[in-house]
């Protein structure tokens, strides 16, 4: 599960590598992204990843509330062990601020395992 979440997160911030992969990542996970669902099969186990992107409206010790580009407001639980980055640097969830843009990745009903934020 962690490997797939990392791969999805890598697409979210794809900046290098093969031009086609970067282009695909930018097309699907660039600034126009509202939300996505990615289904993978790993060793016979199906994972249903949810990717959400929006402006942070509210932050608690265990969740983010995002306002997505289509006007949807979504509360996303964040795992205590989640990878949280701001501008590419690892930070604590509480260091994120209202108004920052955040992209989250979660597997099914689980809490987000990845949060990628920018100012």
How far is 81 from 114, CA to CA, in rounded Å?
Answer: 9
- Residue ranges making up the domain that contains 14: 2-118
Helix, strand, coil shares, percent, the chain, to 5: 20, 50, 30
Give tens-digit pLDDT for 76-93: 999 999 999 999 999 999
CA dist 48 to 12, 14, 26, 41, Å? Answer: 17, 21, 21, 9
Tell me, what DSSP letter sits at residue 111? P
Q: Which residue carries 């501008």 as its tokens? A: 87
Q: Which residue carries 């062990």 as its tokens? A: 81
> What is the count of structural domains for the chain?
1
SS3 60: coil
User: pLDDT confidence of 41, banded at 50, 70, 90?
Assistant: very high
Six token digits for residue 76: 């996303």
pTM recorded for the entire structure: 0.77
How far is 48 from 6, CA to CA, in rounded Å?
Answer: 14
Six token digits for residue 91: 């930070």
Mean pLDDT (whole number) for 42-48: 92
Give tens-digit pLDDT for 59-73: 999 999 999 999 999
């Amino acid at each position: 599960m962690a490997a797939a979440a990392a791969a999805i997160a890598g697409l979210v911030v794809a900046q290098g590598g093969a031009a086609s992969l970067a282009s695909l990542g930018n097309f699907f996970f660039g600034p126009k992204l509202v939300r996505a669902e990615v289904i993978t099969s790993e060793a016979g186990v199906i994972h249903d990843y949810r990717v959400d992107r929006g402006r942070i409206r509210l932050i608690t010790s265990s969740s983010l509330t995002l306002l997505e580009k289509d006007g949807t407001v979504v509360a996303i639980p964040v795992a205590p062990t989640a990878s949280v980055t701001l501008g590419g640097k690892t930070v604590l969830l509480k260091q994120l601020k209202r108004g920052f843009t955040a992209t989250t990745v979660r597997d099914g009903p689980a809490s987000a395992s990845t949060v990628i934020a920018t100012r």
